[in-house]
């Protein structure tokens, strides 16, 4: 039997994904390891692509063929952690996963995100500085999740609130709070209160 193909592109649907060349895989690992070290020891916003290429021992062309900019490298480093959280939101146990009231789920999401920031704020800062935050696939996923909780709870005009609900999770905000002396536990407690005020009592937002 002939392999199936996509009617639009002609690509084989049953074909395995292309295998990464050994040298390409080795260079990718070197780049990610070097970038992770630089992001952990310096302000990620000051790390340049030249810095990463030099630390990884690869040429600029090799680096740019795989990653267009520093943000893309940070996103690649974050991907595994963010995918794990996304899986929990979709299929995990409540309250983070389905089955709990929207306010409890939003509070659990805030908790999980602060825990992610506590462990990897330097990577998040490298991936999501400024407007780059809104262009990541992860931010799109978080936006859909938060909107669904707002809609489920009956919050009026949910689309106008999604970015506001996510704003406290920006890496710059988290690091600023830590610099002010707040612990992750204190930040989580404040966000839990916010979650229950917004989603637990949507009538407070009605005009």
What percent of the chain is predicted at pLDDT more than 70?
86
CA distances for 13 relative to 3, 20, 21, angstroms: 7, 19, 22
What does pTM read for this prediction? Answer: 0.73
Indicate the fold that domain 1-68 takes in CATH: Arc Repressor Mutant, subunit A (1.10.10)
Interval 103-143: pLDDT, tens: 999 999 999 999 999 988 888 877 766 677 888 888 999 99
As annotated, the residues of the chain forming the CATH 1.10.10.60 domain(s) are 1-68
Record: fold of 70-205: Tetracycline Repressor; domain 2 (1.10.357)
The predicted pLDDT at position 51 comes to 95
Q: How far apart are CA 52 and CA 30, in angstroms?
A: 10
Look at residues 173, 162, 174, 168 and name the one whose alpha carbon lies nearest to residue 191.
Answer: 168
Q: Where do the CATH 1.10.357 domains begin and end in the chain?
A: 70-205
The residues near 63 (Cβ < 8 Å, ≥ 6 apart) are 31, 49, 52, 53, 56
Q: How confident is the model at residue 81 (pLDDT cuts 50, 70, 90)?
A: confident
């Amino acid at each position: 039997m002939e392999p199936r193909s996509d009617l639009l592109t002609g690509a084989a649907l049953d074909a395995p994904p292309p295998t990464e060349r050994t040298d390409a895989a080795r260079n990718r690992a070197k780049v990610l390891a070097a970038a992770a070290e630089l992001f952990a020891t310096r302000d990620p916003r000051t790390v340049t692509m030249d810095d990463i290429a030099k630390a990884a021992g690869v040429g600029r062309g090799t680096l740019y063929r795989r990653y267009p900019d520093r943000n893309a490298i940070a996103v690649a480093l974050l991907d595994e952690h963010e995918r794990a959280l996304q899986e929990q939101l979709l299929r995990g146990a409540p309250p983070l996963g389905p089955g709990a009231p929207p306010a409890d789920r939003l509070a659990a999401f805030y908790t999980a995100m602060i825990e992610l920031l506590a462990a990897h704020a330097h990577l998040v800062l490298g991936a999501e500085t400024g407007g780059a935050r809104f262009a990541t696939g992860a931010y799109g996923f978080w936006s859909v999740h938060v909107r669904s909780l707002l809609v489920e709870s009956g919050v009026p005009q949910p689309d106008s609130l999604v970015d506001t609900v996510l704003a406290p999770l920006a890496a710059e905000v988290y690091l600023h709070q830590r610099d002010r002396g707040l612990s992750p536990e204190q930040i989580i407690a404040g966000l839990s209160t916010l979650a229950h005020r917004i989603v637990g009592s949507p009538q407070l937002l009605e005009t």
